[in-house]
Amino acid sequence: MALQQKKHEMPTQAPEVRAHNFDEVALGYTAEIALEEARRCLNCKNRPCVEGCPVNIDIPDFISRIKENDFEGAYGVITKSSSLPAVCGRVCPQETQCESKCTMGVRFEPVGIGRLERFVADYHNENCKKAPQKPQSNGHRVAVIGSGPSGLTCAGDLAKKGYKVTVFEALHTAGGVLVYGIPEFRLPKSIVAKEVDTLKQLGVDVETNVVIGKTLTVDELFDMGYEAIFIGSGAGLPNFMNIPGESLKGVYSANEFLTRSNLMKAYKDSDTPIMKGGSVAVVGGGNVAMDAARTALRLGAEKVYIVYRRSIEELPARAEEVEHAKEEGIEFRLLCNPTEILGYNNENDPRDPKNGFVTGMKCVKMQLGEPDASGRRRPVEIPGSDFTLDVDTVIMAIGTSPNPLIKSTTDGLEVNRRGGIVVNEDGLTSRKGVYAGGDAVTGAATVISAMGAGKVAAAAIDKYLSE
């Protein structure tokens, strides 16, 4: 039988249906589709996909197990390298990682590695009721700051080696960006909760409501008997554009908008208010911008724009997310840059309740000029091309800068010019026994690169404490 040249399609909710609910968009492979897709893997000798994976999952091995109908075996292979398979199977940019290296991909479409990973993890979560074996303790204690992807990975890897790990989380729920940032329709919260539970069964303690740098400091953690510390405190403070009108009511950072909807559950009935309906402009072109736009749509917006200053070529979001957003009816205003946010102001009545709410966003059209330092062509304003978008809500999704809370309370912790924690190739900071990884080091990046950093640091911590 000839091999199918294309990946098996991912079953999804129809765009016109999903645009009005928060249920997961992608429904996952059935066992039949997974088997068919697994058969597309050539099990080639040089295994380039493994190199493409930031945590080096033995991809051909897990796919071989699927071919043999041994789904639990496949799960065992993945979890040797990854603590969060159900998460990665959903949010990893496989198209630029493992799948971009796939031998099948040279002539045809690569094997759907991410979809198979998700299938295996979901199969396990649904069918396996057996708690994971708690490893023999080695007596060492490690503190992990932050329960996002890097922290959970680091904690999981160390726990499997017998370390007693405590994860400190500033918010009231563990998961970091996986719960406050990534929306339910892309990553159901029950899946994150399940992954956190698995870690707890391995013996990891999770202490919520502890802000390191405030409630406790890094030095106090050492005093409490932790022998090594991993900082995975995440991206931090949202950036704004510094244009007029950003303090008007109806202007959100993507962090705030998504946190209100996801973590604070404004997407279902809760006490948390959020602006719903009307027209919404999301400024930015990354995955966070796509998440914010699609969340606004689901909350009931009539019209949602993505406003991005470069062209479709430069959009940093995953192609799949952009595709989904377009299918759902989100309008892309590319090569556009906001210059001012306009607000209602009734000069005759300072008490008019509409005063101070957003009414529109002034933009200017852009064209691409010479490449800049990032190698991307620099957008330049087209003079006289100003226009106004009529919107009620503006969401700024233009990145974050590192949070100063830990740096400012930890003597001798070196940070770079942008405020990111400086680490060596092992994730070691300028302080002995203190490691760091994820967005706290790199600035806003992907879930899987944060996981990779957590993994590297866990190995280095193990080496450090074994010496």
Partner 1 sequence: MYRIIRKKELNPTVTQMEIEAPLVAKKAKPGQFIILRVDGDGERIPLTVAGVDREKGTVKIIFQIVGATTRKLNEKREGEYIQDFVGPLGKPTETDGIKKVCIIGGGVGCAIALPVAEEFHRLGARVVSVIGFRNKDLLILEDEFKACSDSLTVMTDDGSYGRHGNVTVPLKEMLDHGEKFDMIITIGPLIMMKFVTLTAKPFGVPVTVSMNPIMIDGTGMCGGCRLTLHRDGQNVTKFACVDGPDFNGYEVDFDEAMSRGRMYTDFERHAYEQTCNLFKQA
Instruction: Give residues with Cβ within 8 angstroms of 401, minimum separation 6.
Output: 236, 237, 239, 418, 419, 443
Q: SS3 for 10-27, per residue? A: CCECCHHHHCCCCCCCEC
Minimum separation from the CB atom of position 306 to partner 1 (A)? 20
> Which of these segments, 6-14, 132-140, 148-156, 243-251, binds partner 1 (CB under 8 A)?
243-251
Q: How many CA atoms lie within 13 A of 265 on its CB side?
A: 7
Work out which of 205, 227, 246, 320 binds partner 1, going by CB under 8 A: 246
Minimum separation from the CB atom of position 195 to partner 1 (A)? 20
Both tokens of residue 54?
């930031």
Q: For residue 273, state whether it binds partner 1 (rule: CB under 8 A).
A: yes
Minimum separation from the CB atom of position 193 to partner 1 (A)? 13
Give the nearer residue to partner 1 in terms of CB position, either 54 or 234.
234
| Selection from 418, 420, 431, 404 nearest residue 453 by Cα | 420
Residue 341's alpha-carbon distances to 240, 248, 266, 303, in angstroms, are: 12, 8, 25, 17
Work out which of 211, 380, 445, 459 binds partner 1, going by CB under 8 A: 211
Give the nearer residue to partner 1 in terms of CB position, either 30 or 209.
209
Work out which of 30, 69, 127, 208 binds partner 1, going by CB under 8 A: 208
> Which of these segments, 129-137, 213-221, 315-323, 360-368, binds partner 1 (CB under 8 A)?
213-221
Dihedral sign, Cα of residue 386, residue 387, residue 388, residue 393: negative
- Give the C-alpha separation, 389 to 336, whole Å: 11
Work out which of 69, 404, 412, 416 binds partner 1, going by CB under 8 A: 404
Minimum separation from the CB atom of position 248 to partner 1 (A)? 8
Whose tokens are 């994976």? That residue is 53
- Give the C-alpha separation, 146 to 134, whole Å: 22
Give the nearer residue to partner 1 in terms of CB position, either 126 or 271.
271
Work out which of 255, 295, 429, 446 binds partner 1, going by CB under 8 A: 255
Residue 282's alpha-carbon distances to 218, 306, 451, in angstroms, are: 37, 5, 28
Give the nearer residue to partner 1 in terms of CB position, either 94 or 410.
410
> Which of these segments, 94-102, 129-137, 256-264, 452-460, binds partner 1 (CB under 8 A)?
256-264
Work out which of 77, 216, 283, 288 binds partner 1, going by CB under 8 A: 216
> Which of these segments, 193-201, 235-243, 422-430, 431-439, binds partner 1 (CB under 8 A)?
235-243
Both tokens of residue 462?
């193990």
Q: For residue 243, state whether it binds partner 1 (rule: CB under 8 A).
A: no
Give the nearer residue to partner 1 in terms of CB position, either 30 or 215.
215
Both tokens of residue 378?
């620099």
Site residues (CB under 8 A) for partner 1, limited to 163-192:
170-172, 180
* Dihedral (Cα; 26, 28, 29, 31), 10-degree rounding: -160
Minimum separation from the CB atom of position 114 to partner 1 (A)? 28
Q: For residue 425, state whether it binds partner 1 (rule: CB under 8 A).
A: no
Q: What number of chain residues touch partner 1 (CB under 8 A)?
A: 39
Q: For residue 383, state whether it binds partner 1 (rule: CB under 8 A).
A: no
- Give the C-alpha separation, 256 to 266, whole Å: 12
**Would you tell me which residues interact with partner 1 (CB under 8 A)?**
170-172, 180, 208-211, 214-216, 234, 236-238, 240, 242, 246-247, 249-250, 252-253, 255-256, 259-260, 264-265, 270-273, 353, 355-356, 403-405
